[in-house]
């Protein structure tokens, strides 16, 4: 029986195909009066193709319904990135590095299981996994607003708990391997600087030479929370040589690449992890350097008050809050215990 005009057509493609039956409808006419088609899909049997065509005529959609995750991300980021801060943008870009494994999939085909596999295989902290969930949620919300999807599967993603792995520290053997590599690898030396200062990578990479006081061997920096901002960090004797070398390189930033500022994402993926691999050290996240610093200080029986003061945590006890005027020499004495 012939379908009515405008209903759509089904025909079988030649060759050995897994889904040889194509369903399409006329989408209009081109400039040269050529007929334009909207391809609804490819199917394994004529029966499935007929069902798909019937469903389409019941609930029509446009080619936008076939938009891929990559296309949607580019569309979303083009307008979103002009309205957010640099650090938030970097956070989304890092999350996209993981989520982009699904970039060629159509948004309408992505389910919770696809994204859950990515989160489970990340083997990173809950915080890192949460950033992927946030980005996925924003993309699904964007797609939902245009009726591309009907359900936000990103909301169902399960994140890892605060496991012991999130608070792992480099072992003494790994620390020694990093120290040995730092003698010949400048980026390995930045890992040591992170370990012996307790700085976050974002804090280290935003330091200018103005923040580094070589005569007094201390760094003034920090960007997160009132307790962490502009804190004074003594430069441990084990990294003083490397701090001086980086300070005397071209550029206004303390840590730079060819005189230019290094982004957090580039540092993590192209400099930090390759240096760990070169040193034959476990691929632990950059935040592990802060845990290592705190662990070394605690193991040396340094007063928690001093650890919190240097690392920039705000959770001081009532007693700790009394110590609001710790001088640099006191902190130097504390940090040299490790």
What's the pLDDT tens digit per position in 112-157? 999 999 999 888 888 889 999 999 999 999 888 877 887 889 999 9
3-class DSSP state of 303: coil
Q: Order of strands, edge to edge, in the sheet holding 21-29?
A: 9-12, 21-29, 35-43
Separation between Cα atoms, residue 286 and residue 125, nearest integer Å: 11
Residue 134 lies in a domain: yes
pLDDT confidence band for 1 (50 / 70 / 90) = low
3-class DSSP state of 288: helix
Q: Do 212 and 183 have their domain in common?
A: yes
- The answer to whether 190 and 288 have CB atoms below 8 angstroms apart is no
| Residue 135 burial (10 A CB sphere; 0-12, 13-18, 19+) | buried
Average pLDDT, the chain: 82
Q: What is the DSSP letter of 21?
A: E
Domain residue limits at 227: 168-335
Q: Do 178 and 268 have their domain in common?
A: yes
Q: Do 130 and 147 have their domain in common?
A: yes
pLDDT confidence band for 310 (50 / 70 / 90) = low
More confident: 54 or 184: 184
Domain boundary among 163, 184, 202: 163
Q: Lowest mean pLDDT of 191-200, 244-253, 278-287, 328-337, name the range.
A: 328-337
- Alpha-carbon separation of residue 124 from 7, 27, 121, 164, 220 (angstroms): 51, 46, 8, 11, 29
Q: Do 21 and 124 have their domain in common?
A: no
> What mean pLDDT do residues 55-81 have?
82
pLDDT for 328 beyond 50: yes
Residue 2 lies in a domain: no
Separation between Cα atoms, residue 287 and residue 294, nearest integer Å: 11
More confident: 63 or 231: 231
Q: Do 81 and 146 have their domain in common?
A: yes
Domain boundary among 163, 192, 211: 163
Q: Do 308 and 194 have their domain in common?
A: yes
Separation between Cα atoms, residue 179 and residue 5, nearest integer Å: 76
Q: Do 271 and 137 have their domain in common?
A: no
What pLDDT score was predicted for residue 306?
60
Q: Do 128 and 37 have their domain in common?
A: no
Q: Do 130 and 181 have their domain in common?
A: no
| CATH number for the domain harbouring residue 86 | 1.10.150.130
Q: Do 176 and 292 have their domain in common?
A: yes
Residue 4 lies in a domain: no
- Give every CB contact of residue 153 below 8 A, 6+ residues apart in sequence: 110, 111, 112, 115, 140
3-class DSSP state of 10: strand
Helical (H) or strand (E) element with 261 = strand 260-261
Domain count, the chain: 3
Residue 27 lies in a domain: yes
Strand pairing report for 212-213 and 218-221: antiparallel
What's the pLDDT tens digit per position in 89-107? 999 999 999 999 999 998 9
- The answer to whether 84 and 36 have CB atoms below 8 angstroms apart is no
> What mean pLDDT do residues 164-173 have?
72
pLDDT confidence band for 85 (50 / 70 / 90) = confident
Q: Do 145 and 247 have their domain in common?
A: no
pLDDT for 34 beyond 90: no
> What mean pLDDT do residues 67-72 have?
92
Q: Do 257 and 111 have their domain in common?
A: no
pTM of the full structure: 0.47
Residue 148 lies in a domain: yes
Domain boundary among 134, 163, 192: 163
pLDDT for 320 beyond 50: no
More confident: 299 or 86: 86
Residue 3 lies in a domain: no
What's the pLDDT tens digit per position in 239-293? 999 999 999 999 999 999 999 999 998 999 999 999 999 999 999 988 889 888 8
pLDDT confidence band for 181 (50 / 70 / 90) = very high
| CATH number for the domain harbouring residue 230 | 1.10.443.10
């Amino acid at each position: 029986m012939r379908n009515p005009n405008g209903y759509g057509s089904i025909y079988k493609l030649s060759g050995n195909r897994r889904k040889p039956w194509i369903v399409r409808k006329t989408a209009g006419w081109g400039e040269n009066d050529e007929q334009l088609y909207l391809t609804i899909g490819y199917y394994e049997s004529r029966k499935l193709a007929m069902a798909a065509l019937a469903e389409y005529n019941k609930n029509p959609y446009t080619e936008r319904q076939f938009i891929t995750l990559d296309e949607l991300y580019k569309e979303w980021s083009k307008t979103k990135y002009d309205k957010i801060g640099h650090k938030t943008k970097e956070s989304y870009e890092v999350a996209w590095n993981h989520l982009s494994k699904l970039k060629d999939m159509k948004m309408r085909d992505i389910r919770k299981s696809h994204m859950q596999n990515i989160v489970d295989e990340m083997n990173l902290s809950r915080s890192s996994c949460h950033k992927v969930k946030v980005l996925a949620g924003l993309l699904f919300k964007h797609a939902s607003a245009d009726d591309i999807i009907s359900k936000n599967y990103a909301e169902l993603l399960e994140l890892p708990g605060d496991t012991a792995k999130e608070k792992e520290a480099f072992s003494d053997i790994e620390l020694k391997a990093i120290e040995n590599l730092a003698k010949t690898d400048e980026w390995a030396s930045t890992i040591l600087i992170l370990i012996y200062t307790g700085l976050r990578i974002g804090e280290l990479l935003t330091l200018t030479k103005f923040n580094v006081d070589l005569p007094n061997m201390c760094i003034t920096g920090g960007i997160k929370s009132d307790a962490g901002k502009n804190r004074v960090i003594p430069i441990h004797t084990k990294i003083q040589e490397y701090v001086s070398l980086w300070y005397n390189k071209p550029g206004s930033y303390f840590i730079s690449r060819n005189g230019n500022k290094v982004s957090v994402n580039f540092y993590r993926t192209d400099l930090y992890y390759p240096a760990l691999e070169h040193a034959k050290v476990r691929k632990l996240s950059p935040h592990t350097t802060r845990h290592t610093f705190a662990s070394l200080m605690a193991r040396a029986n340094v007063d928690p008050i001093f650890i919190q003061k240097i690392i920039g945590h705000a959770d001081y006890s009532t007693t700790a809050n009394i110590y609001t005027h710790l001088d640099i020499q006191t902190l130097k004495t504390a940090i040299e215990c490790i």
